Amino acid sequence: MFDQRERRELEKRVKEQNRLPPGQSATIKFPVLHYGPVPKVNLDRWDFRVLGLVVAERRWTWAEFNQLPRTKVTLDIHCVTRWSKFDTVWEGVAVSTLVREGFIRPRPEAKYVIQHCEYGYTTNTPIAFVMQEGFILATHFDGQPLTPDHGYPLRGVAGVIAGQRADDKYFWKGGKWLRALEFRADDQPGFWERNGYHNQADVWREQRHGWPGF
Ligand SMILES: Nc1nc2c(c(=O)[nH]1)N[C@H]1C(S)=C(S)[C@@H](COP(=O)(O)O)O[C@H]1N2
Ligand SMILES: [Mo]
Protein backbone atom coordinates (compact mmCIF):
# COMPACT_ATOMS: atom_id res chain seq x y z
CA MET A 1 0.00 0.00 0.00
CA PHE A 2 1.16 3.55 -0.76
CA ASP A 3 0.86 4.65 2.88
CA GLN A 4 2.99 1.73 4.04
CA ARG A 5 5.74 2.67 1.63
CA GLU A 6 5.60 6.34 2.63
CA ARG A 7 5.82 5.32 6.26
CA ARG A 8 8.80 3.04 5.73
CA GLU A 9 10.66 5.69 3.75
CA LEU A 10 10.01 8.27 6.47
CA GLU A 11 11.23 5.82 9.10
CA LYS A 12 14.41 5.11 7.14
CA ARG A 13 15.11 8.83 6.74
CA VAL A 14 14.56 9.79 10.40
CA LYS A 15 16.61 6.79 11.51
CA GLU A 16 19.53 7.98 9.38
CA GLN A 17 19.11 11.43 10.90
CA ASN A 18 19.25 9.91 14.43
CA ARG A 19 15.74 11.18 15.16
CA LEU A 20 14.14 7.80 15.87
CA PRO A 21 14.54 6.90 19.56
CA PRO A 22 15.09 3.25 20.52
CA GLY A 23 11.98 1.07 20.40
CA GLN A 24 9.93 3.61 18.41
CA SER A 25 8.44 3.45 14.92
CA ALA A 26 7.36 6.29 12.67
CA THR A 27 3.71 7.00 11.99
CA ILE A 28 2.11 9.28 9.41
CA LYS A 29 -1.19 9.18 11.27
CA PHE A 30 -1.99 11.06 14.45
CA PRO A 31 -3.27 8.55 17.00
CA VAL A 32 -5.48 9.74 19.86
CA LEU A 33 -4.62 8.53 23.33
CA HIS A 34 -6.07 9.45 26.67
CA TYR A 35 -7.83 8.12 29.70
CA GLY A 36 -11.49 9.02 30.13
CA PRO A 37 -13.93 11.13 28.10
CA VAL A 38 -13.24 14.19 25.93
CA PRO A 39 -14.41 17.26 27.88
CA LYS A 40 -16.99 19.68 26.49
CA VAL A 41 -15.60 23.17 26.62
CA ASN A 42 -17.40 26.46 27.10
CA LEU A 43 -14.89 29.15 26.16
CA ASP A 44 -16.93 31.82 27.99
CA ARG A 45 -16.22 30.04 31.25
CA TRP A 46 -12.77 28.69 30.39
CA ASP A 47 -9.78 30.10 32.20
CA PHE A 48 -6.10 29.35 32.55
CA ARG A 49 -4.36 29.68 35.89
CA VAL A 50 -0.80 29.95 37.09
CA LEU A 51 -0.59 28.80 40.71
CA GLY A 52 1.74 27.97 43.56
CA LEU A 53 5.28 29.23 43.99
CA VAL A 54 5.03 32.32 41.78
CA VAL A 55 5.35 35.96 42.81
CA ALA A 56 1.76 36.58 41.68
CA GLU A 57 -0.80 33.93 40.77
CA ARG A 58 -2.50 34.52 37.44
CA ARG A 59 -5.86 33.88 35.81
CA TRP A 60 -6.43 34.46 32.12
CA THR A 61 -9.72 34.16 30.26
CA TRP A 62 -9.65 32.64 26.78
CA ALA A 63 -9.61 36.14 25.24
CA GLU A 64 -6.75 37.18 27.51
CA PHE A 65 -4.79 34.00 26.87
CA ASN A 66 -4.96 34.74 23.15
CA GLN A 67 -3.33 38.14 23.70
CA LEU A 68 -0.16 36.55 25.11
CA PRO A 69 2.95 36.53 22.88
CA ARG A 70 2.83 33.58 20.51
CA THR A 71 5.30 31.05 19.16
CA LYS A 72 5.37 28.46 16.40
CA VAL A 73 7.54 25.38 16.70
CA THR A 74 8.20 22.17 14.73
CA LEU A 75 8.59 19.09 16.91
CA ASP A 76 9.12 15.36 16.81
CA ILE A 77 6.80 13.68 19.30
CA HIS A 78 7.31 10.27 20.86
CA CYS A 79 4.49 8.31 22.47
CA VAL A 80 5.36 5.71 25.07
CA THR A 81 3.13 3.25 23.16
CA ARG A 82 5.94 3.31 20.54
CA TRP A 83 4.74 5.60 17.78
CA SER A 84 6.70 8.70 16.86
CA LYS A 85 5.45 11.51 14.67
CA PHE A 86 7.89 13.83 12.95
CA ASP A 87 7.88 17.49 11.95
CA THR A 88 4.62 18.31 13.72
CA VAL A 89 3.85 22.04 13.68
CA TRP A 90 2.38 23.63 16.82
CA GLU A 91 1.41 27.19 17.66
CA GLY A 92 0.70 28.69 21.02
CA VAL A 93 2.52 30.19 23.94
CA ALA A 94 5.99 29.27 25.20
CA VAL A 95 6.46 29.15 28.98
CA SER A 96 10.00 30.53 28.51
CA THR A 97 8.52 33.63 26.83
CA LEU A 98 6.03 34.12 29.67
CA VAL A 99 8.83 33.92 32.21
CA ARG A 100 11.22 36.11 30.23
CA GLU A 101 8.58 38.79 29.72
CA GLY A 102 7.42 38.71 33.33
CA PHE A 103 3.93 37.22 32.80
CA ILE A 104 5.00 34.39 35.10
CA ARG A 105 7.51 34.97 37.88
CA PRO A 106 8.48 31.67 39.51
CA ARG A 107 9.85 31.96 43.03
CA PRO A 108 13.41 30.67 43.51
CA GLU A 109 12.12 27.69 45.55
CA ALA A 110 10.00 26.47 42.63
CA LYS A 111 11.60 23.41 41.03
CA TYR A 112 8.69 21.49 39.44
CA VAL A 113 5.68 22.30 37.32
CA ILE A 114 2.44 20.36 37.42
CA GLN A 115 0.13 20.62 34.41
CA HIS A 116 -3.48 20.49 35.61
CA CYS A 117 -6.08 19.38 33.08
CA GLU A 118 -9.85 18.85 32.93
CA TYR A 119 -11.14 15.95 35.05
CA GLY A 120 -8.10 16.07 37.33
CA TYR A 121 -5.48 14.71 34.92
CA THR A 122 -2.05 15.96 35.89
CA THR A 123 1.49 15.45 34.69
CA ASN A 124 4.71 16.62 36.31
CA THR A 125 8.12 17.78 35.13
CA PRO A 126 11.02 19.89 36.34
CA ILE A 127 10.62 23.62 35.55
CA ALA A 128 13.61 23.42 33.21
CA PHE A 129 11.63 21.02 31.00
CA VAL A 130 8.69 23.36 30.38
CA MET A 131 11.15 26.21 29.75
CA GLN A 132 12.67 24.34 26.79
CA GLU A 133 11.83 25.22 23.19
CA GLY A 134 10.37 21.73 22.76
CA PHE A 135 7.54 22.41 25.22
CA ILE A 136 4.65 24.62 24.20
CA LEU A 137 1.19 25.52 25.45
CA ALA A 138 -0.48 24.86 22.12
CA THR A 139 -3.78 26.12 20.74
CA HIS A 140 -3.07 25.03 17.13
CA PHE A 141 -1.76 21.95 15.37
CA ASP A 142 -0.83 22.06 11.68
CA GLY A 143 -2.31 25.54 11.25
CA GLN A 144 -5.72 24.63 12.69
CA PRO A 145 -7.21 24.94 16.18
CA LEU A 146 -6.75 21.71 18.14
CA THR A 147 -9.51 19.17 17.62
CA PRO A 148 -11.43 18.09 20.75
CA ASP A 149 -9.66 14.69 20.73
CA HIS A 150 -6.23 16.30 20.68
CA GLY A 151 -6.89 18.73 23.53
CA TYR A 152 -9.02 21.69 22.38
CA PRO A 153 -8.70 24.47 23.28
CA LEU A 154 -5.26 24.18 24.94
CA ARG A 155 -2.72 21.46 25.61
CA GLY A 156 0.85 21.07 26.70
CA VAL A 157 3.06 19.57 24.00
CA ALA A 158 6.17 17.68 25.02
CA GLY A 159 8.34 17.34 21.94
CA VAL A 160 11.81 17.39 20.55
CA ILE A 161 13.41 19.90 18.21
CA ALA A 162 15.27 17.82 15.64
CA GLY A 163 19.02 18.00 16.17
CA GLN A 164 18.81 19.97 19.41
CA ARG A 165 20.30 18.64 22.61
CA ALA A 166 17.58 18.74 25.25
CA ASP A 167 15.70 16.80 27.91
CA ASP A 168 13.40 14.80 25.62
CA LYS A 169 10.34 13.28 27.24
CA TYR A 170 7.51 11.05 26.07
CA PHE A 171 4.39 12.74 24.80
CA TRP A 172 2.26 11.98 27.87
CA LYS A 173 4.20 14.81 29.58
CA GLY A 174 1.95 17.16 27.61
CA GLY A 175 -1.49 17.44 29.19
CA LYS A 176 -4.51 17.82 26.89
CA TRP A 177 -7.37 20.14 27.95
CA LEU A 178 -4.88 22.06 30.04
CA ARG A 179 -6.26 24.52 32.62
CA ALA A 180 -3.38 25.43 34.94
CA LEU A 181 0.31 25.31 35.66
CA GLU A 182 1.28 24.84 39.28
CA PHE A 183 4.80 25.71 40.42
CA ARG A 184 6.05 23.64 43.36
CA ALA A 185 9.18 23.01 45.42
CA ASP A 186 8.52 19.26 45.56
CA ASP A 187 7.69 16.86 42.76
CA GLN A 188 4.22 15.36 42.54
CA PRO A 189 3.79 12.37 40.22
CA GLY A 190 0.85 12.82 37.85
CA PHE A 191 -1.80 10.47 36.50
CA TRP A 192 0.29 8.17 34.30
CA GLU A 193 3.30 8.52 36.58
CA ARG A 194 1.20 7.05 39.42
CA ASN A 195 -0.15 4.37 37.07
CA GLY A 196 3.07 2.72 36.03
CA TYR A 197 4.86 5.17 33.76
CA HIS A 198 8.33 6.44 34.55
CA ASN A 199 8.61 9.75 36.40
CA GLN A 200 11.44 11.09 34.20
CA ALA A 201 10.28 9.67 30.85
CA ASP A 202 13.51 10.20 28.89
CA VAL A 203 12.81 8.93 25.35
CA TRP A 204 16.46 8.20 24.51
CA ARG A 205 16.96 6.12 27.67
CA GLU A 206 13.60 4.39 27.16
CA GLN A 207 12.31 5.39 30.57
CA ARG A 208 8.85 4.02 29.81
CA HIS A 209 7.80 2.28 33.00
CA GLY A 210 8.49 3.13 36.60
CA TRP A 211 8.74 0.91 39.63
CA PRO A 212 5.79 -1.45 40.07
CA GLY A 213 3.20 0.29 42.18
CA PHE A 214 4.44 3.80 41.47
N1 LIG B 1 -5.73 15.31 29.89
C2 LIG B 1 -5.01 14.29 29.40
N3 LIG B 1 -3.91 14.58 28.68
C4 LIG B 1 -3.17 13.57 28.18
C5 LIG B 1 -3.53 12.21 28.38
C6 LIG B 1 -4.69 11.94 29.16
O7 LIG B 1 -5.05 10.78 29.43
N8 LIG B 1 -5.42 13.02 29.63
N9 LIG B 1 -2.75 11.21 27.85
C10 LIG B 1 -1.39 11.54 27.46
C11 LIG B 1 -0.83 10.54 26.59
S12 LIG B 1 -0.51 9.05 27.32
C13 LIG B 1 -0.46 10.80 25.31
S14 LIG B 1 0.42 9.68 24.40
C15 LIG B 1 -0.86 12.06 24.64
C16 LIG B 1 -1.62 11.74 23.38
O17 LIG B 1 -1.97 12.89 22.70
P18 LIG B 1 -2.83 12.76 21.37
O19 LIG B 1 -4.11 12.07 21.69
O20 LIG B 1 -3.01 14.14 20.86
O21 LIG B 1 -2.00 11.91 20.42
O22 LIG B 1 -1.67 12.87 25.47
C23 LIG B 1 -1.25 12.91 26.81
N24 LIG B 1 -2.06 13.89 27.49
MO1 LIG C 1 0.80 7.84 25.84
Atom 16 (ligand 1) nearest CA: 33
**Ligand 2: distance of its center to the CA of 32 in Å?**
9
Q: Pocket of ligand 1, candidates 28, 30, 34, 122: which has the most ligand atoms within 8 Å of its Cβ, to mutate?
A: 34
pLDDT of 21 strictly over 80: yes
Q: What mean pLDDT do residues 55-62 have?
A: 98
Residue 1's pLDDT band (cuts 50, 70, 90): low
- What are the CA-CA distances from residue 28 to residues 73, 84, 136 (Å)? 18, 9, 21
Domain range annotation of the chain: 41-194
pLDDT of 2 strictly over 80: no
What whole-number distance in Å separates Cα of residue 60 and Cα of residue 63?
8
Amino acid 212: pLDDT: 57
**Closest ligand 1 atom to the C-alpha of 33?**
19
**Ligand 1: distance of its center to the CA of 174 in Å?**
7
**Closest ligand 1 atom to the C-alpha of 121?**
1
For 89-116, the pLDDT digits (tens) are 999 999 999 999 999 999 999 999 999 9
Query: Closest by alpha carbon to 135, among 176, 184, 164, 173?
Result: 173
The radius of gyration of the chain's CA atoms, rounded to the nearest angstrom, is 17
Q: What mean pLDDT do residues 14-37 have?
A: 97
Q: How much is the mean pLDDT over the chain?
A: 96
Is 69 a pocket residue for ligand 1 (Cβ < 6 Å)?
no
**Ligand 1: distance of its center to the CA of 57 in Å?**
26
Helix H or strand E segment including 15: helix 2-16
84, 21 in Cβ contact below 8 A? yes
Atom 18 (ligand 1) nearest CA: 32
Neighbours of 73 (CB within 10 A): 18
Q: In the chain, pLDDT over 70 holds for what percent of residues?
A: 97
Residue 214's pLDDT band (cuts 50, 70, 90): very low
CATH class as words, domain 41-194: alpha beta
pTM: 0.96
Residue 202 DSSP symbol:
B
